[in-house]
Structure 1
Amino acid sequence: MLKAGLILNNDFDEDAVLAAKQATASEHGRAQMLKGSAWMTIGSILSRILGALYIIPWRLIFGASLFPIANSLYTQGYNIYSFVLIVAIAGIPSAIAKQVAHYNALNEYQIGVKLYQRGLMLAVGMGIISALILWLGAPFLTNGDANVIPVIRSLAWAVLIIPTMSLTRGFFQGYEDMAPSALSQFVEQLARVIYMLLSAFVILRVFNGSWVTAVAQSTFAAFIGAIFGLLVLGWYYWRRHDYYQQLIAQSSNKLSVPTRQLYREIIMQAAPFVILGAGVTIFSLIDQFTFFPIMQATTKISMQALQVNYAIFAGNANKLTMIVISLASSIAITMVPMLSAAFTRKNGQEVRYQFSNALILFEFVMLPAALGMAAVAGPLNRTFYGTSNMNFSSNILSFSALQAIPVGLFVVAAALMQGVSQNKKAVKFFVIGTVVKLLTQYPLVVWMGAFGTLLSTILGFSLANYLILRVLSRQFGIETGRVVQKTAEILLFSLVMYVVSLVGVYALNFLIGLVGNPFGSLASFFVTVVVACMGGMVYIYLTLKTHVADEVLGQKVQRLRDGLHIKS
């Protein structure tokens, strides 16, 4: 039908031919984005789930008395480590992915490989310098708690090799090959969790050792995990070596980029990634270094109680909501190299289409995930963290799940800006959002306590998101009508799912309460799984019934609709 419509009396309608080509390119771009997002989502979700599930046996190993302070110590050390690690990586992996995609689009594969090799030298150097800074600077980063020192120093070892591992992931992503990153991420997390649980058990249960030493070994597990993750990437690179050599042999070789210029490109592209990549961590550090002083100055709550409160919102809730935010990260990581390639080809329509589709895909996944977690916050929190501070912990988790929406949107929006080389503006808008966070932190914490830190984060990221999306819409264009329509539909279906899930939680708690304790860990796990499945089925049914899923995921979902016997 399409071919017949393009030909009339042997004359070609050039506009129709062009439109057909653009439609094909757009569909291919969506397919690539979905495939890449699928790989990154699987790897990221599995890694995050492992990173959350470990808390159950870890909590049991430490026991009810030690777990709250151990978790607070772990969280404080990890927040500092995360920031230093981002600086150590220096945004090089994302910059490499962007630049490799750029040169690949120009059929200059040899320059992309050379870029990776030069970046590798930078990564090794940054790893060594940052590890030394972390080790020597540990006494000055304790926030008044000397127990943080061995925890920070144990994490310095991981900083040595993670930049190299992350850079190699960026190289694969530049080829829009997300499988190596996804698998290495999962293996890294698996090795980390196994080591941290074994070391904690041996130190505390076998030798009755220090809980601080057990926490330090739990954080040292990041180094063990990184070794295994790097081995997986090395295996992938070895398998693909011949393929890369073929591409290099077929390169145009019309460009000659001096080594000094390659380093300049890496640094110029990487610098904004440092700030934007550290965005979530910077906000967490603001909480870490302001929450305690504000609460101590305005309340009479003991330091131990504050440590418990901090662990609940910065540790417990954050571990679970990061599972949701990792969905946004998966989309963002996939977007950068594809947008860079389209931008390099000056394909304005493809860029606009990818902008719009990325936003819709983000909403399609993020809104139901965040609202679903908010609905099951009570039983989910009890499953992982028990019944201590039950109501406060559940409310914090519910609010944190909603906070994940603007945080996740920032991850995607910043990636869109980076993909079209609007790095400076993205950094500017993030700085404005950070200023809002700082200005609202004190009054909101005084007024709402731990909830105030979450609300100030929402305000800061929401403003940054608004500024970024406004610039993208003005300069490159976003299919506003399509995005608004799909947003309204997705939000409606997500709210329906939220209400159904909330009713399901209360109904199951009531029924279980007739015969036993509905707030035990096993009962809470049962409620979480049943309600999550029920809510997911409601959302899937609504999106398939109304063809919203087709708009986001393509026509292949018709098979799913047929399999479920859902009539349009």
Structure 2
Amino acid sequence: MSEEPKANQPQNGHVNSEADAHQKMVRGSAWMTAGSLFSRILGAIYIIPWVIWLGNNSQQGNALYAKGYNIYSFFLLVAIGGIPSAISKQISEYNTINEYGVGQRLFKRGLLLTTALGILSGCVLWFGAHIIAAAFGGGDPNVIPVLRALAIALVIIPSMSLTRGFFQGYQQMAPSAISQFVEQVFRVIYMLGATYYIMRVQKGDWVNAITQSTFAAFVGAAASFLLLGLYYYRQRPELNRLAAQSDAKLVIPVWQLFRDIIVQAIPFIVIDTATTVFNLLDQATFQPIMQATFHTKVAVINDLYALFAFNANKLVMIIVSLASAIAVTVVPLLSESLAAHNMRNIRKQLEDAFTLFLFIMIPGALGMAAVAQPLNTLFYGYSKAGTMILEISAFTAIILGLFTVASALMQGLSRNRDIIRFYLIGLAVKLVVQWPCIYFLSAAGPLVATAIGMLVASMMALYDLEVNFGVRYVKLLPNVNRILIFSILTYVSAALVVYGLNFVMNEQSKTQAFVIVVLAVAVGGAVYAYFALRSHLADLMIGERANGLRRKLRIK
């Protein structure tokens, strides 16, 4: 853990501090990006055999899974949404003023709080499953066993997430990233094993297969929690040493620690549930609007709902998770700078965060849009409607990611009330445009309405950061322009590969779709990497290693 430069240090101490903070951000982003990316990719790849084993019931199964998971995600985020980020923020602040002991007490008391919250939220979801399914599940009785399977996971996930937040407060992103990946591995293994056994061995009911697939959330969480416990046990001697050498000037009662956790967590909970609330709004309104407007049958509506709420969402969240990785990394760093009243560092960190976000998000989103047709075929089967929805989702992912990063930055700077206000305004905009968007765009309507609402909230947040912290967006324009140009070139090159290969390959074959995706991604990725290295834009992400890559690839 680096210390802030003392007042009597030379002026270049500020430069060293900024460079150190930038390196922390890049390292942390790399770990969290890798963990999120691998977890999301694994969470998408399982869909291929899963859909095959579900057979003709796959679309209905996807819709049921999405309905159950959206409700579960809301409960999960209410139970834990703000606590990891709040703990990370507070521990980082205490560590900055050499009060490591207070931060560790905060963590231990937080475990008691999250255990209670986990048990309470799990009981509410289990015993209230009938009422919740009627209100948000479209009255589908199949949602009830799915919710009860997920209620079990709610018991332990809050404490697991708190432990991740503890490590993030020390800027140790590896435990969080690795545990995230382990959680996904165990979840997918159980999920696929249970589905194969029920559908292929027992020739059983697809609803039971979906129920067991959602219970896999508990299996993954348990494995992740055990790994985090091992990390904590190994680092306990170092943690005890840091606590022993603390200033120990702060004496904070237990009740105040609990109050601090809750007060800090509430804004994070509100914002972390933003995407889930938008999804629940779609879940509650899409079916009634479609029935009232077009008199569509429920089975058809479920198929359309699955296209955007499960199929496209699963793939697009791979990209959005990259934005979340950056956001998680930046919060404790901003808290350190805010505690030290270092406005110069704050402005630099904000500008770096936006540049890193755009560097990853824009080419990722455009690249996914370029390969939407073979990618959708690979995971769900050939579908023109599915391809169109995935393309739209890929573009709207940029706005979802922007809101994720902007809200995290504001929370790291204790601008909680403002970002909550901006979010509520964005939600109101979503409510206003929801019906006309669905009326004119059908299944794409909810995606466009969400994008409009979150764009309004994001623009207000960006303006707030400019006014109060002096973020110089004009200074970012040269890099932003290069990122846009390189991303468009990436999109064009990947789209041309897809277009050309569709002439010589069967675009409806999953195997050949896989080949097309791999080749298109390889070409598009190579184009972006070449221009990013040649323009030195890649140096923002990987630092000095970019010089080595340029030498090896003979890029001038």
Superposition TM-score, scaled by structure 2 size: 0.97
Distance across 2 between alignment mates of 1:276 and 1:35? 25
Aligned to 2:454: 461
Is 1:561 aligned to residue 511 of structure 2?
no
The superposition leaves residues 131-158 of structure 1 with CA deviations (integer Å, 9 ceiling, x where unpaired) of 0110111112222101110001100000
Is 1:100 aligned to residue 91 of structure 2?
yes
The superposition leaves residues 3-24 of structure 1 with CA deviations (integer Å, 9 ceiling, x where unpaired) of xxxxxxxxxxx99941x22221
1:222–1:16 CA distance, 2 compared to 1 (3 A): closer
Is 1:286 aligned to residue 281 of structure 2?
yes
Q: What secondary structure does 1:432 align onto?
A: helix
Is 1:251 aligned to residue 246 of structure 2?
yes
Aligned to 1:202: 197
Distance across 1 between alignment mates of 2:35 and 2:470? 32
Figure out how many residues of one structure are paired with residues of the other and give that number.
546
Contact 2:81–2:273 (Cα < 8 Å) also in 1: no
1:212 to 185, 195, 207: 207
The superposition leaves residues 113-138 of structure 1 with CA deviations (integer Å, 9 ceiling, x where unpaired) of 00001111110010011001101111
Aligned to 1:124: 115
Distance across 2 between alignment mates of 1:401 and 1:247? 45
Aligned to 2:441: 448
Amino acid at match of 1:548: L
Distance across 1 between alignment mates of 2:153 and 2:503? 47
Distance across 2 between alignment mates of 1:196 and 1:385? 17
Aligned to 1:548: 537
Task: Name the stretch that deviates more: 95-104 or 249-258.
Answer: 249-258
2:188 to 185, 188, 193: 193
1:504–1:15 CA distance, 2 compared to 1 (3 A): farther
Is 1:229 aligned to residue 220 of structure 2?
no
Q: Report the alpha carbon displacement of residue 511 of structure 1 after superposing the two structures with TM.
A: 2.6
Contact 2:26–2:541 (Cα < 8 Å) also in 1: no
Aligned to 2:301: 306
Distance across 2 between alignment mates of 1:255 and 1:152? 44
2:388 to 373, 395, 403: 395
Give the RMSD, CA atoms, in angstroms.
1.3
Aligned to 1:386: 381
Amino acid at match of 1:418: Q
Amino acid at match of 2:44: A
Aligned to 1:533: 522
Contact 1:138–1:152 (Cα < 8 Å) also in 2: yes
Amino acid at match of 1:22: H
Q: Report the alpha carbon displacement of residue 550 of structure 1 after superposing the two structures with TM.
A: 2.2
Aligned to 2:46: 54
Contact 1:283–1:457 (Cα < 8 Å) also in 2: yes
Q: Report the alpha carbon displacement of residue 480 of structure 1 after superposing the two structures with TM.
A: 2.3
Distance across 2 between alignment mates of 1:108 and 1:205? 57
Amino acid at match of 2:449: S
Contact 1:357–1:552 (Cα < 8 Å) also in 2: no
Q: Report the alpha carbon displacement of residue 182 of structure 1 after superposing the two structures with TM.
A: 0.7
Q: Report the alpha carbon displacement of residue 552 of structure 1 after superposing the two structures with TM.
A: 4.5
Distance across 1 between alignment mates of 2:261 and 2:340? 20
Amino acid at match of 2:259: R
> Could you list the runs of 5+ residues in structure 2 that have no partner in the other structure?
1-6
Q: What secondary structure does 1:548 align onto?
A: coil
Aligned to 1:372: 367
Q: Report the alpha carbon displacement of residue 44 of structure 1 after superposing the two structures with TM.
A: 0.7
Q: Report the alpha carbon displacement of residue 300 of structure 1 after superposing the two structures with TM.
A: 2.4
The superposition leaves residues 341-394 of structure 1 with CA deviations (integer Å, 9 ceiling, x where unpaired) of 11101111000000000000000000000000000000011011112xx10000
Aligned to 2:3: none
1:154-169 alignment, distance < 5 Å:
154-169=149-164
Q: What secondary structure does 2:295 align onto?
A: coil
Contact 2:378–2:514 (Cα < 8 Å) also in 1: yes
Amino acid at match of 1:554: G
Runs of 4+ in 1 over 4 A off after TM superposition: 14-17
Q: What secondary structure does 2:156 align onto?
A: helix
Contact 2:356–2:540 (Cα < 8 Å) also in 1: no
Distance across 1 between alignment mates of 2:502 and 2:202? 41
Q: What secondary structure does 1:141 align onto?
A: helix
Q: Report the alpha carbon displacement of residue 500 of structure 1 after superposing the two structures with TM.
A: 1.3
Is 1:484 aligned to residue 473 of structure 2?
no
1:28-107 alignment, distance < 5 Å:
28-63=20-55, 65-107=56-98
1:498 to 491, 497, 511: 491
Amino acid at match of 1:451: A
Aligned to 1:420: 413
Amino acid at match of 1:61: W
Amino acid at match of 1:88: A
Q: Report the alpha carbon displacement of residue 551 of structure 1 after superposing the two structures with TM.
A: 3.9
Q: Report the alpha carbon displacement of residue 482 of structure 1 after superposing the two structures with TM.
A: 2.1
Q: Report the alpha carbon displacement of residue 90 of structure 1 after superposing the two structures with TM.
A: 4.5
1:241–1:365 CA distance, 2 compared to 1 (3 A): same
Q: What secondary structure does 2:414 align onto?
A: coil
Distance across 1 between alignment mates of 2:540 and 2:71? 41
Aligned to 1:341: 336
Contact 1:353–1:479 (Cα < 8 Å) also in 2: no
Contact 2:70–2:276 (Cα < 8 Å) also in 1: yes
Amino acid at match of 2:118: G
Distance across 2 between alignment mates of 1:486 and 1:454? 28
Q: What secondary structure does 1:478 align onto?
A: coil
Contact 1:352–1:478 (Cα < 8 Å) also in 2: yes
1:229–1:489 CA distance, 2 compared to 1 (3 A): same
